[in-house]
Chains A and B, each alone.
Chain A
Amino acid sequence: MASCPTRIGIYICHCGVNISATVDVEAVAAFAAGLPGVVVARDYVYMCSDPGQALIRQDIEEHDLNRVVVASCSPRMHEPTFRRAAEQAGLNPYLVNMANIREQCAWVHVAGTEALVASAVAKVALLEPLEAREVEVTPGALVIGGGLAGMVAALDIADAGFPVTLVEQSDHLGGRVAELHRTYPTLESVTELLEPLIEHVQSHPYITVLLDSRVAEVEGYVGNFEVTVGKLVDWETGEGDQSTNLPIYQVGSIIVATGYDVFDPRRKPEYGYGRYPNVITTLEMEHLLQAASTGESLISNLQSPAPKVAFIKCVGSRDVQVGNPYCSRVCCMVTAKQAHLVKDLLPEAKVTVFYMDVRTFGKGGEEFYDEVRKKGILYRRGNVSEIVRRGERVALIAEDTLLGQPIEVEADLVVLAVGMESRANVDSIATLLKLPRSSDGFFLELHPKLRPVDTAVDGVFLAGCCQGPKDIPDTVAQAKAAASSALIPLLRGTVLAESATAVVEEELCAGCGMCVEVCPYGAPALHPLWNVSRINAVLCKGCGACAVTCPSKAIRMQHFTEEQVLAQIDAIVMN
């Protein structure tokens, strides 16, 4: 389709020895030199390096290249690198193509290198220049969840000078942290930590707090979200008010900080939770400790001055049977903390912690574990198998694995260290924002190592336990990270939109609306008057679902047109 003859430069990368160890790169370069349109064919040890990129720039200038092919690694690695190099030499970055001869050839087998190279050349000859697009960003953010993560993130964004709307489903701020009595390892009061934070949020001139509220609808894209917020109707399903005339908030970034639920120990019936009143969860214990600090007795109807209190860790965590194979990260410290507090309240109490492992990581963690044992709290290794009634008490049936003997230990109170799970009522949020989950049910971050707060959806960020179990310091750190990432588009004022999008040829469009139904991003829309589909180039991610679905073949995928793909196939078949 080019009006002037294509002048293609092709570069076969050795990738050190990654490719050259199995592929004869010189022979491939020689083969490539013979392909139609190719004027320059080279092989080089590291194309992504500075000299490698310089080679491309130099050839573009000296040989007047108007197309570039790099046969190397996966485009996911270095497509941006080579596009930038071309751009620097004045060539439109979308006239660069790659052939993956590393992951798809050298690393798996050798055959097919020539076919891939020929196919990349065939396609690049038909590529057209595309323009990068910038869109303006609404200067404001929305935070979903008024717990610790939500509040910390909101404060950072507000302090940076942007308005923040904070949506909270309950009637108060503070989330799960507000249910805690003390925090480890300092054992300081949580109320004292939280109250100033809440006060700061409520009084901040840039933060608008919406209580008893749920997000009802989300439209738009990064930089230009339109979020409808209504009152909460059904706590269990998270359903919000669906009536019309609900307020719509325009924001540039969204942070999801919806927090967690605790595991319901009724799913492990052998522990008798729900049958025996003296079997409780760590969350319930936290409430008891809070009440006891104001004078109530910790264990009512105490028979003896030296009550027996047992903690069982890993309830609903590290457990394939209940579908939670992961470790909930905080329970070892929570248990140590509560054991410490019980011993403070009842010095004569016999406190035992039943464990499989002790994971008291973090600053002060191991030292706290040492302190707790010094207070006489006994750690016995063995995951309790079942709990039975013993008169007014219960008995824990377990094996002490270090003794190698079955044991039965009576207790007046048993505390189950329940794990964290993704909240049951966030499915609606996940659907509205199109957020994927990891296999453990929590929201999925974009990369487990390098992108902990980004999601697959541009402009939507994660903070706190909704992304995975974590303690207060990690929650605060992640909330600040999310705020920082959310501020980037707000501070820049514009965002780049994807260039390789779908385009409708309106003369061919029959207005059937199937593209509208099939698009996961809500990009196509039927024009109300003319009944043809128009695709919002900023919402479109170029996935191709609409083009495949369109019965009139009216949709053209830029950078992946039918002619280009067919040319690729022909080249492969012929080689």
Chain B
Amino acid sequence: MAVKTSQMVEQLELWGCIQCGKCTGGCPVARKTTLNIRSMIYHMLVEPEMDVDAHPELWDCTCCFTCVERCIKDVEPAELVIALRGQLVESGRIPDTIGTALMAIFRQGNPTGIAREDRAAWAGELEIKAAQEGCETLYFVGCIPSYDQRVQPIARALAQTLTAAGIDFGTLGTEESCCGNEVRRMGEMGLFEMLVEENSELFRSVGAGRIVTISPHCFNTFKNEYRLDGVEVVHYTQLIAALIEQGKLKFKSVGVWGKGVERVVTYHDPCFLGKQNHVFDEPRAILSAIPGVKLVEMDRNRERSLCCEGGGGRMWNEGTNLEERLAFQRVQEAADTGAEILAVACPFCLLTLEDAVKVQGLEERLRVMDIMELVDLALE
């Protein structure tokens, strides 16, 4: 399918590109697929048409936005990927698994395919206020934490921790729908805009002054892409770090694993939290505050953290290269620091890195845990 380039070049301001190569140079998937975003931008500039069908590697992009972060001319290369995906979505030429996920989001408000009615089941025995009754902080759980069994304990842990800290919060229950972050990145603009409108209206009616999310993906889109005037959007690590500093959370003095027991922990910066939103210090502050945790850094930390390949729709699309998963390299890097625990702050990172640990046979050496799980274990 031939896409006319000139309009997109105008809209995305691609003429700003001087072809320096920092984008492709920093792209984590460029070395294992044919995706070359710089070359694609050049093609858009010099050719009148772009045959999007000839580029299945467009679906390999994880939307880590390293290219956007590195670009010295303020061009946003990843937005070209998203725009071209949009063209493919409009013409219905998308990988089946992505189509299925999008349809599920449209129908059931989440990509897993499980019914909306079961969205609040993660809470189990916990009694959580319905946000619709009014609350100061809206606890936006997110699709994966709501439905995925591995991640549900984290959702519960956050609820319990917020209660322990005396925060007035509530959840939307079965009225909660997908935030749409991945929807936009998969190119489905129509569905994204619908979600933004419906969710914004729902948040307005709740009237909370603050929204806290488990996933950095939800955090990113609420903070940067929705227009929630007057509402403070935070990731849970920012809130927990603040609560620790304010003395509202007390950790067991004997530490997580008992008196005198220290475990080496390393932290993986999620792309949507670190690279894109520059939240590097709060997760580390939490880990450093937990007695029993000995925090070490990987070489590739903070701005150079290696993408786990979970974003940009990759949770529902294997991509063109199944062999060299970046998550394999990442868990190896974690193990090489001598760490026993690889701490994460994103449900996608949790799932992809845990999977990689199993495939690489590192289960005896390395355990992947969300920061929330460590906090939960450490609290009195």
Q: Which residues of A contact B (CB under 8 A)?
A: 269-270, 314, 318-321, 356, 381-386, 388-389, 397-401, 404, 406, 408
A321 and B71 within 8 A (CB): yes
- In the complex, besides A269-B303, A384-B22, 18 extra interface pairs with C-beta distance below 8 angstroms are A269-B302, A314-B20, A318-B18, A318-B72, A320-B74, A321-B72, A356-B21, A383-B21, A383-B22, A383-B25, A385-B21, A385-B26, A385-B66, A401-B19, A401-B24, A404-B36, A406-B25, A408-B31
| Alpha-carbon gap, A389 to B299, bound state (A) | 7
> Which of B18, B38, B70 gathers most chain A CB within 10 Å?
B70
B25 and A397 within 8 A (CB): yes
Partner of B25, one of A314, A318, A399: A399
Smallest beta-carbon distance A140→chain B, Å: 46
Q: List 23 A-B contacts (CB under 8 A).
A: A269-B302, A269-B304, A270-B26, A270-B303, A319-B72, A321-B72, A356-B19, A382-B21, A382-B25, A383-B25, A384-B22, A385-B25, A386-B303, A388-B304, A397-B26, A398-B25, A399-B21, A401-B20, A401-B38, A404-B36, A406-B24, A406-B30, A406-B31
A388: chain B residues within 8 A (beta carbon): 299-300, 304
A381 and B72 within 8 A (CB): no
| Alpha-carbon gap, A399 to B19, bound state (A) | 10
Smallest beta-carbon distance A23→chain B, Å: 37
| Alpha-carbon gap, A398 to B26, bound state (A) | 7
Smallest beta-carbon distance B126→chain A, Å: 41
Asked if B321 is an interface residue, CB under 8 A from chain A, the answer is no
A383 and B27 within 8 A (CB): no
> Which of B20, B66, B70, B303 gathers most chain A CB within 10 Å?
B20
Which 9 interchain pairs have the tightest Cβ spacing?
Answer: A385-B26, A385-B25, A383-B20, A399-B21, A382-B21, A399-B25, A399-B24, A401-B21, A398-B25
Q: Write out, one digit per residue, whether chain B residues 106-149 have a CB within 8 A of any chain A CB (1) or not (0).
A: 00000000000000000000000000000000000000000000
Q: Which residue of B lies closest to A275 (CB)?
A: B299
B300: chain A residues within 8 A (beta carbon): 388
A270: chain B residues within 8 A (beta carbon): 26, 70, 303-304
Smallest beta-carbon distance A356→chain B, Å: 4
| Alpha-carbon gap, A401 to B24, bound state (A) | 9
A382 and B20 within 8 A (CB): yes
B19 and A406 within 8 A (CB): no
Smallest beta-carbon distance B201→chain A, Å: 36
Q: Write out, one digit per residue, whether chain B residues 26-44 have a CB within 8 A of any chain A CB (1) or not (0).
A: 1100110000101100000
| Alpha-carbon gap, A291 to B124, bound state (A) | 70
| Alpha-carbon gap, A350 to B175, bound state (A) | 63
| Alpha-carbon gap, A270 to B36, bound state (A) | 20
Smallest beta-carbon distance A408→chain B, Å: 8
B22 and A385 within 8 A (CB): yes
Smallest beta-carbon distance A251→chain B, Å: 43
| Alpha-carbon gap, A404 to B23, bound state (A) | 12
A389: chain B residues within 8 A (beta carbon): 299
Q: Which residues of B contact A (CB under 8 A)?
A: 18-27, 30-31, 36, 38-39, 66, 70-74, 299-300, 302-304
B36: chain A residues within 8 A (beta carbon): 399, 404
| Alpha-carbon gap, A269 to B21, bound state (A) | 18
Q: Which residue of B lies closest to A355 (CB)?
A: B20
B38: chain A residues within 8 A (beta carbon): 399, 401
A320: chain B residues within 8 A (beta carbon): 72-74
| Alpha-carbon gap, A406 to B23, bound state (A) | 10
> Which of A314, A383, A385, A386 gathers most chain B CB within 10 Å?
A385
> Which of B21, B31, B302 gathers most chain A CB within 10 Å?
B21
B30: chain A residues within 8 A (beta carbon): 399, 406
Q: Which residue of A lies closest to B70 (CB)?
A: A385
Q: Which residue of B lies closest to A382 (CB)?
A: B21
B18: chain A residues within 8 A (beta carbon): 318, 356
B19: chain A residues within 8 A (beta carbon): 356, 401
B39: chain A residues within 8 A (beta carbon): 404
| Alpha-carbon gap, A320 to B76, bound state (A) | 13
B25: chain A residues within 8 A (beta carbon): 382-386, 397-399, 406
| Alpha-carbon gap, A401 to B40, bound state (A) | 12
Smallest beta-carbon distance A122→chain B, Å: 49
Smallest beta-carbon distance A61→chain B, Å: 59
Smallest beta-carbon distance B261→chain A, Å: 30
B31: chain A residues within 8 A (beta carbon): 406, 408
A356 and B71 within 8 A (CB): no
| Alpha-carbon gap, A314 to B299, bound state (A) | 24
> Which of B26, B71, B73, B74 gathers most chain A CB within 10 Å?
B26
Q: Which residue of B lies closest to A269 (CB)?
A: B303
A319: chain B residues within 8 A (beta carbon): 72
| Alpha-carbon gap, A499 to B222, bound state (A) | 60
A321: chain B residues within 8 A (beta carbon): 71-72, 74
> Which of B19, B27, B300 gathers most chain A CB within 10 Å?
B19
B303: chain A residues within 8 A (beta carbon): 269-270, 386
Smallest beta-carbon distance A522→chain B, Å: 41
Q: Which residue of A lies closest to B26 (CB)?
A: A385
Smallest beta-carbon distance A265→chain B, Å: 13
Q: Which residue of A lies closest to B67 (CB)?
A: A385
A397: chain B residues within 8 A (beta carbon): 25-26
Partner of B27, one of A314, A318, A382, A406: A406
| Alpha-carbon gap, A314 to B72, bound state (A) | 10
Q: Which residue of A lies closest to B20 (CB)?
A: A383
| Alpha-carbon gap, A318 to B72, bound state (A) | 7
A318: chain B residues within 8 A (beta carbon): 18, 72
| Alpha-carbon gap, A397 to B18, bound state (A) | 19
Q: Which residue of A lies closest to B280 (CB)?
A: A269
B299 and A398 within 8 A (CB): no
Smallest beta-carbon distance A414→chain B, Å: 15
Smallest beta-carbon distance B84→chain A, Å: 18
B302: chain A residues within 8 A (beta carbon): 269
| Alpha-carbon gap, A280 to B281, bound state (A) | 26
A404: chain B residues within 8 A (beta carbon): 36, 39
B72 and A398 within 8 A (CB): no
B73: chain A residues within 8 A (beta carbon): 320
| Alpha-carbon gap, A408 to B22, bound state (A) | 13
| Alpha-carbon gap, A388 to B26, bound state (A) | 11
Q: Which residue of A lies closest to B333 (CB)?
A: A388
Smallest beta-carbon distance B297→chain A, Å: 10
| Alpha-carbon gap, A314 to B22, bound state (A) | 12
| Alpha-carbon gap, A319 to B75, bound state (A) | 11
> Which of A320, A399, A400, A404 gathers most chain B CB within 10 Å?
A399
| Alpha-carbon gap, A543 to B137, bound state (A) | 54
Smallest beta-carbon distance A277→chain B, Å: 14
Smallest beta-carbon distance A335→chain B, Å: 16
> Which of B31, B72, B73, B74 gathers most chain A CB within 10 Å?
B72
